[in-house]
């Protein structure tokens, strides 16, 4: 399931690996039997490679880790949640394009833009 850059999150390690992470964390909530989840796997793996060292990327099997799935009201899979500073920054339900994830990751990874810097930042509308 997990690859070199894709971590495996569980009920046991979720707090330390995701909520207490100093980096943004992209979590793919999935299940073995879910075909759309399997279709999303190459995108998640690519994001993990592209953002290695900047964003933590991982998967959580909702069948084996029901506590976290219930806590975040996962009622449909795939659901992908981007966490920043222990909070939900963005939630995606269903099969999505890579660019959707990248926009959210780039916004979260850039953090607040200092005023007067002259550079354009991303503003979350959620």
Alpha-carbon gap, residue 57 to 64, rounded angstroms: 18
pLDDT, tens digit (0-9, with 9 covering 90-100), for 82-96: 999 999 999 999 999
pTM, rounded to two decimals: 0.85
Active site residues: 34, 37
Using the Cα atoms of residue 21, residue 62, residue 108 and residue 90 in order, give the sign of their dihedral: negative
pLDDT in tens, 91-123: 999 999 999 999 999 998 886 543 333 333 333
Strand residue runs (E) in 1-126: 6-9, 25-30, 56-61, 79-84, 87-93
């Amino acid at each position: 399931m997990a690859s070199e850059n894709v971590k495996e999150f569980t009920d046991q390690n979720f707090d330390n690996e995701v909520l207490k992470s100093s980096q943004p964390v992209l979590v793919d909530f999935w299940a073995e039997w879910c075909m759309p989840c399997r279709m999303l796997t190459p995108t998640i793996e690519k994001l993990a490679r592209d953002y290695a060292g900047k964003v933590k990327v991982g998967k959580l099997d909702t069948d084996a880790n029901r506590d976290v799935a219930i806590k975040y009201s996962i009622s449909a899979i795939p659901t992908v949640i981007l966490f920043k500073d222990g909070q939900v920054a963005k939630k995606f339900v269903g099969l999505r394009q890579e660019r959707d994830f990248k926009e959210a990751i780039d916004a979260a990874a850039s953090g607040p833009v200092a005023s007067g810097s002259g550079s354009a930042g991303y503003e979350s509308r959620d």
